[in-house]
């Protein structure tokens, strides 16, 4: 069922296959010190240390200024229809199943500043994707660290009713693998009111695809996005099997 969830939700196409954080941390651990270190020299007076540290601090502050400016320039662009602040969490229901999506952090993937959005089932991270807000709209840059070339535009902004666009991307292409192809068309729409367990949302924007082909899997679906909340509902049809995903709760990060 988890595989089914991942195929149908907007999060990812494949299950997260490996977690190497623990090993990575171990590999990066500083080497142990077998030999005793020499005793430190006698401390200098507070006055001497203060005089020495003053120019060093000024130099450090001067060097930090351009770094802070660069970090500000790299700040994550925020979409009103898919808020991607760190800590944001959405709890969804798919029939009798429940899962959550959360923004774990912001990080750069290629040329895009992205939000790393993780999917959790039973409070365990099972997959993740990287989402960015661009001048065209909201795109998926990568699925489980498998790049989408070009990034897949699933919400065109600013919203304009009846606007259409096409997608044609390859996910996870490498020298050894052709990757998975995703192609089809999208159309923007509107919904005056959408009632969900999380509440009633007005002036909702929709993004629909009647003919998406995900590496041979044919499906059609409609996303419902509410301003300030994100995706509040999704309707999916896969081979005549209809599924509805409902928002149960939205928590904004602090």
List, for residues 43-53, the tens digit of each pLDDT value.
555 555 555 55
Strands, E, within 122-175: which ranges? 124-133, 137-143, 146-156, 164-171
pLDDT value of position 75:
77
List, for residues 141-153, the tens digit of each pLDDT value.
999 999 999 999 9
Tell me how many degrees the CA angle 109-1-208 measures, rounded to the nearest 5: 55
Per-domain residue ranges of the chain = 75-251
| 226 has pLDDT over 90 | yes
List, for residues 16-44, the tens digit of each pLDDT value.
222 222 233 333 444 444 444 454 555 55
Question: CATH assignment of 75-251?
Answer: 2.40.360
- Contact criterion met (CB below 8 Å) for 142 and 169: no
Count CB neighbours of 88 within 10 A. 21
Q: Does the pTM of the predicted model rise above 0.75?
A: no
Nearest to 98 by CA among 207, 2, 231, 220: 2
- Contact criterion met (CB below 8 Å) for 129 and 11: yes
């Amino acid at each position: 069922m988890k595989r089914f969830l991942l195929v149908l939700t907007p999060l990812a196409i494949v299950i997260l296959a490996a977690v190497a954080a623990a090993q990575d941390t171990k590999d990066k651990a500083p080497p142990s010190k077998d030999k005793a270190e020499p005793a430190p020299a006698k401390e200098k007076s507070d006055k001497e240390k203060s005089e020495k540290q003053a120019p060093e601090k000024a130099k450090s502050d001067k060097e930090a200024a351009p770094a802070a400016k660069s970090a500000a320039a790299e700040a994550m662009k925020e979409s009103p229809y898919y808020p991607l602040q760190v800590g944001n969490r959405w709890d969804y229901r798919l029939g009798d199943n429940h899962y959550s999506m959360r923004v774990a952090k912001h990080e750069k993937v290629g040329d895009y500043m992205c939000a790393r959005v993780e999917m959790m089932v039973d409070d365990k991270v099972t997959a993740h994707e990287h989402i960015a807000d661009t001048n065209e709209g909201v795109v998926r840059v990568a699925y489980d660290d498998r790049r989408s070339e070009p990034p897949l535009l699933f919400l065109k902004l600013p919203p304009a009713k009846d606007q259409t666009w096409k997608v044609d991307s390859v996910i996870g292409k490498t020298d050894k693998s052709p990757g998975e192809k995703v192609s089809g068309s999208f159309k923007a729409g509107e919904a005056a009111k959408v009632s969900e367990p999380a509440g009633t949302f007005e002036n909702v924007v929709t993004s629909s695809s009647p003919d998406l082909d995900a590496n041979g899997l044919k499906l059609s679906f409609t996303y419902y996005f509410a301003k300030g909340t994100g995706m509040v509902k999704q309707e999916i049809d896969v081979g005549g099997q209809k599924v509805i995903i409902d928002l149960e709760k939205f928590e904004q990060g602090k």
